[in-house]
A and B are shown apart, each in its own frame.
Chain A
Amino acid sequence: MSAGSLAEHLRLACRYAGVSVRSQLQYRASFVMLALSQFVVTAIEFVGIWALFLRFGSLRGWTLAEVAVLYGMVHVSFALAEAAGRGFDLFPGCVRMGDFDRILLRPRSTVFQIAVQEFQIMRLGRFTQGVAALAWGAAAVHAVWTVVGVLAVAIGVATGAAIFYALFVLQGTLAFWTVETLEIMNTVTYGGTEAAQYPLSIYRGWLRTLFTFVVPLACANYLPAGWVFGRADAPGLPVLIVCPVVGAAFLGVCLWLWRFGEKRYVSTGN
């Protein structure tokens, strides 16, 4: 961060967000269509899950309602990250068109400028269907919802959002080296969402390890929800503390890696 208080940066971020949202609302019909199509595209997945539960009845002890909670949590997380992290998504284009030079010419941290560039409201599509699934699942589940339980879900969603956001930052950082790497990151973001829709316990070792220790999506929904449903893989783990800490640390590392990309850019002139 550059000189300037946190408050000042937050104010600036809000200003950018306002600008971005107003800009998108200018194309109102387009926004509605985009949000709606996003809703359908993402909801389709749940139709598949529902059909399979109709056939099989349960997934290694997990009920449809419980999986719906997992599903809802990860999609809400991802939608939040997509909305806020759009700047990094667009970053490869920014580099390719030479717009990063203009970013460097402004007296603010480059990662900050990219981060606040856009707040994409059409992600409301995925967000809404995630909330719907989460709400239905939470209501249908055979568990008593205490304040702590709700807190656990909220913390999980926030952690998931931080992790996905960190992955977008990483994706942006990779664009400093080549614009051809988008797909490998999509593997982890979309693939991660896909995998985390289901309880991580059903996967084989390497996938479980990947999403617990490398990209800690286990902290996004499986551990918090599992703890609420009394199914935690690791009982005794203070989920409410460990999950957000892990998420924040992951985000911190990804933000730190950005500076290497920037250094390369100003050395090679892109």
Chain B
Amino acid sequence: MSLIHVRDLRKSFRVSERAPGMVGAFAGLVRRRCRIVEALAGVTFDVEAGEIVGYIGPNGAGKSTTIKVLSGILVPDSGECLVGSRVPWRDRLNHVRDLGVVFGQRTQLWWDLPVTESFDLLRAIYGVPRRDFAERRELLVELLCIGRLLNTPVRQLSLGERMRCDIAAALLHGPRILFLDEPTIGLDAPSKLAVRDFIRRLVREQGTTVILTTHDLDDIEALCTRVLLIAAGRVLMDGTLDSLRETVTHERRLTLDLTEAAEIREPGARVVYAEGSRVVLAFDPEETSAPDLVARIAARYAVRDLFIHSVPIDEIVAALYAEHAT
């Protein structure tokens, strides 16, 4: 039995609307109009222990709704959901004891308190035995390099520092499952790398299961072996990044740095981007072999440098989103 088991989850919300202008304002006094939004229209997937799963989709696709259901803080209209053989919303207290959640936009730490006091408070709330807590805390502090931040009030931390402290806070009680919601949003490059490094290590050494919801596809590319794509309340794609890529296109790209700007025209290759001395070509490796194309280009044009790569994941996902726009 997989750790997280979701079958045909459905959830709809009522959203109230108001007509614009003065007339609408007065009408709103008497009656409110409602519209039904179907956030989850039959979501199904399984997650095994120790996986890092990326959960992506356009805005309004149902990502946060799914995470809320899995967390036990939202009751679905219908469908099955089991996390570690518990139904999340029925057994909330026991379920959340084994769960860590990090929201990128909001901190769970106490704003005016030094970080270490927040940690102590969390220890008391979760009822973690002191010895376990001390060990785990030391490890997390070391791995996330937050030692010198411990006595700083949270409100004085930079975004990157706060995020690392939040991640530590979410793991202090040793949960088996970690939900990360936009964990690297607004972070600078070194912080992002630090966070990604940490998550990889966490999964490898502790066997924590991670579900990562994000719009930052570099995160996905760096961390996730498996990606779930949700749009309009349904899981459209469930597989590796490469298989995701394959469903959209087989194309590969050839980026050229020319010694001087030139117009490139070559059979079997399409210009995708041309600015100054940089040109990006797209080609189908099944029709045009890569070495062949490189040889032809190098012969015809003055090339200073070149490299071959896949279509950037951003473009893939954008194409997928566009296809299934809500």
Residues of A within 8 A of B (CB): 2-4, 8, 11-12, 15-16, 19, 23, 26, 98-99, 101-102, 104-108, 266-269
In the complex, the answer to whether A105 meets B124 with C-beta atoms within 8 Å is: no
| A269 touching B112 in the complex, CB below 8 Å, given contacts A99-B106, A105-B73 | no
Cβ < 8 Å to A, chain B residues 94-127:
94, 96-97, 99, 101, 103, 106, 108, 110, 112-113, 117, 121, 124-127
Does chain A have a CB within 8 A of B65? yes
In the complex, the answer to whether A3 meets B73 with C-beta atoms within 8 Å is: no
Determine which of B75, B94, B121 lies in contact with A107 in the assembled complex, contact meaning CB atoms within 8 Å. B94
**Interface magnitude class on chain B:** 20 to 34
In the complex, the answer to whether B117 meets A104 with C-beta atoms within 8 Å is: no
In the complex, the answer to whether B126 meets A106 with C-beta atoms within 8 Å is: yes
In the complex, the answer to whether A15 meets B121 with C-beta atoms within 8 Å is: yes
In the complex, the answer to whether A266 meets B89 with C-beta atoms within 8 Å is: yes
In the complex, the answer to whether B117 meets A102 with C-beta atoms within 8 Å is: no
| Pairs of residues from A and B, 8 with the lowest C-beta to C-beta distance, nearest first | A104-B73, A107-B97, A23-B112, A107-B93, A2-B93, A269-B74, A267-B75, A266-B75
Residues of B within 8 A of A (CB): 11, 13-14, 65, 68, 71-75, 89, 92-94, 96-97, 99, 101, 103, 106, 108, 110, 112-113, 117, 121, 124-127
Name the prevailing secondary structure of the A interface residues. Answer: helix
Q: How far is the CA of A201 from the CA of B125 in the complex (A)?
A: 47
Q: What residues of B have a CB within 8 angstroms of the CB of A98 in the complex?
A: 106
Q: How many residue pairs between the two chains, A and B, have CB atoms under 8 Å in the bound complex?
A: 61
In the complex, the answer to whether B96 meets A104 with C-beta atoms within 8 Å is: yes
| A106 touching B96 in the complex, CB below 8 Å, given contacts A26-B112, A101-B68, A269-B68 | yes
Determine which of A4, A19, A104, A105 lies in contact with B121 in the assembled complex, contact meaning CB atoms within 8 Å. A19
| A108 touching B125 in the complex, CB below 8 Å, given contacts A2-B93, A102-B108, A269-B74 | yes
Q: How far is the CA of A102 from the CA of B110 in the complex (A)?
A: 12
Q: What residues of B have a CB within 8 angstroms of the CB of A2 in the complex?
A: 93
Q: How far is the CA of A268 from the CA of B12 in the complex (A)?
A: 9
Q: What residues of A have a CB within 8 angstroms of the CB of B68 in the complex?
A: 101, 269
Determine which of A3, A15, A267, A268 lies in contact with B124 in the assembled complex, contact meaning CB atoms within 8 Å. A15
Q: What residues of B have a CB within 8 angstroms of the CB of A11 in the complex?
A: 124
Q: What residues of B have a CB within 8 angstroms of the CB of A108 in the complex?
A: 93, 125
In the complex, the answer to whether B74 meets A107 with C-beta atoms within 8 Å is: no
Q: What residues of A have a CB within 8 angstroms of the CB of B124 in the complex?
A: 11-12, 15
Determine which of A4, A8, A101 lies in contact with B73 in the assembled complex, contact meaning CB atoms within 8 Å. A101
Q: What residues of B have a CB within 8 angstroms of the CB of A267 in the complex?
A: 74-75
Q: Considering only CB atoms, which chain A residue lies closest to B98 in the complex?
A: A107
Determine which of B13, B92, B106 lies in contact with A102 in the assembled complex, contact meaning CB atoms within 8 Å. B106
Q: What residues of B have a CB within 8 angstroms of the CB of A107 in the complex?
A: 93-94, 96-97, 125-127
In the complex, the answer to whether B117 meets A105 with C-beta atoms within 8 Å is: no
Most buried by A among B68, B73, B96: B73
Within the complex, the shortest CB–CB distance from B323 to chain A, in Å, comes to 27
Q: How far is the CA of A106 from the CA of B126 in the complex (A)?
A: 7
Within the complex, the shortest CB–CB distance from B173 to chain A, in Å, comes to 8
In the complex, the answer to whether B14 meets A104 with C-beta atoms within 8 Å is: no
In the complex, the answer to whether A19 meets B117 with C-beta atoms within 8 Å is: yes
Q: Considering only CB atoms, which chain B residue lies closest to A27 in the complex?
A: B112
Within the complex, the shortest CB–CB distance from A79 to chain B, in Å, comes to 23
Q: What residues of B have a CB within 8 angstroms of the CB of A3 in the complex?
A: 93
Q: What residues of A have a CB within 8 angstroms of the CB of B65 in the complex?
A: 269
Q: What residues of A have a CB within 8 angstroms of the CB of B106 in the complex?
A: 98-99, 102
Within the complex, the shortest CB–CB distance from A29 to chain B, in Å, comes to 15
Q: Considering only CB atoms, which chain A residue lies closest to B68 in the complex?
A: A269
Q: How far is the CA of A23 from the CA of B110 in the complex (A)?
A: 10
Q: How far is the CA of A98 from the CA of B107 in the complex (A)?
A: 12
Q: How far is the CA of A16 from the CA of B110 in the complex (A)?
A: 11
| A266 touching B93 in the complex, CB below 8 Å, given contacts A12-B125, A15-B121, A106-B126 | no
Q: What residues of B have a CB within 8 angstroms of the CB of A8 in the complex?
A: 127
Q: How far is the CA of A8 from the CA of B125 in the complex (A)?
A: 10
